[in-house]
Homo-oligomer: A and B are copies of this chain.
Amino acid sequence: MVGHPFDLATELSYESGTFRGQTSEAYANMVGPYGGITAATMLRAVLDHPDRIGAPLSLTVNFTAPIKDGEFFIKAKPARTNRSTQHWVLELFQGQDTLCTGTAVTALRRETWSDIEASFPRVPEPEKIASLPTENLPLPKWVSRYDIKVIKGFPDPLAKEPKENIDSVTLQWVKDKPDRPLDFLSLTSICDAFFPRVYIRKNEISPASTVSLTIYYHAEEKELDAVGHEPLLGEAKGIRYYNGFFDHFAKIWSRDGNLLATTTQVVYYKD
């Protein structure tokens, strides 16, 4: 049986404190791998680490330079282990080059008063939205590894005057292609599955790449298991674009209104 491309792309072997992985053509971006698959692979080093306790609570990955095709290495070091939290320091490298830095926190949860203060957006069911036709668009390869159904907020380079949109809000249904049951790794990758906000604001495709990505996980394994193969709703909005860098804030919802993760990123862009 052949594994899912996602599992192959994030596969790591572990030897004496260092994980070894291999870039995957299936998740290639315009230059180097798709950031979401890299973030998921960094998290996998944490989850596969023999000393790990708890489930993901937060992850920050900084993309320092493009990863070259081929093998790479990840160091995941538990810097501090408390009763309910564990702090991780992460580095991805090829030879002498640090290509990602990062930190993560894993945690043991216990039942408390809980609430989702954010509002689940009113959206049409995924069955009513067409999938992005990845075959006929000049999109990087990783996009074909997702079934993306954009409800609102997709860049339209052919837009007429006024070309610029008043906001960059995107709402989209997303799931792995082919289907794969949701877990923390695929959730991580889906957190980055948004086109750069500046594309949507300006209806123009221009150089843009994520510099730093942060994810807060708001779910336990049983809730991800409950999602199974259902699509997730991604909701993203740009906040400020300023002299070469912008940020966005995004939420990842289950179809039935559970907020599984929140995520922010700061992105380099060029006019």
Contacts and interface: CB of A to CB of B under 8 A. Distances in A.
Given A64-B79, A91-B79, A103-B60, A240 B218 contact: yes
A74 to B, nearest CB: 14
Contacts of A197: 117
Given A58-B211, A117-B237, A112 B80 contact: no
B243 A111 contact: yes
Interface in A47-97: 57-58, 60, 62, 64-65, 79-80, 82, 84-85, 87-89, 91, 97
A264 B271 CA distance: 27
A270 interface: yes
A64 B87 contact: yes
Contacts of A82: 64-65
A116 B103 CA distance: 29
Given A112-B269, A264-B264, A241 B80 contact: no
B58 A266 contact: yes
A70 B136 CA distance: 62
B244 A107 contact: yes
Interface stretch (A179-187, A224-232, A245-253): A245-253
A201 interface: yes
Interface in A6-41: none
Report how many copies the assembly holds: 2
A239 interface: yes
Given A57-B211, A89-B89, A240-B259, A98 B80 contact: yes
A179 to B, nearest CB: 26
A109 interface: yes
A128 B141 CA distance: 56
A91 to B, nearest CB: 7
Contacts of A240: 114-118, 218, 259, 262
Nearest to A267: B216
Given A84-B244, A102-B103, 9 more contacts: A60-B212, A79-B98, A79-B101, A80-B97, A85-B268, A103-B103, A117-B197, A214-B214, A216-B245
